[in-house]
Amino acid sequence: PDQRHKDRMALRNPRKLWKRNCIKCNAEIQTTYAPERKEIVYCEKCYLESVY
C-alpha cells in the first residue's frame, strides 16, 4: 500500500505556487502549474465568464 501511494503522489503537481498571468485579462494569479508548462490558466473571474 505504501508504494502505491508514493507512485500516485509522484504523478501529482508539486506543492508549490507559481505566479502566472491570466491568458485572457493578464491579471497576475497564483497556480500550481509551472510557467514552463503549456496549460492555459485563467483568473477566477475569466474562468467563470467562460464557463457560464
Helix (H, G, I), strand (E, B) or coil at 29: strand
Burial (Cβ within 10 Å: 0-12, 13-18, ≥19) of residue 46? middle
Domains of the chain by residue range: 16-51
The gap from C-alpha 35 to its chain's centroid, in whole angstroms, comes to 9
pTM: 0.67
Phi, psi of 31 (to 5 degrees): -145, 160
Nearest to 31 by CA among 44, 15, 20, 45: 20
Q: What is the pLDDT of residue 1?
A: 67
Please write the tens of the pLDDT for every residue from 5-32: 989 888 887 789 999 999 999 999 999 8
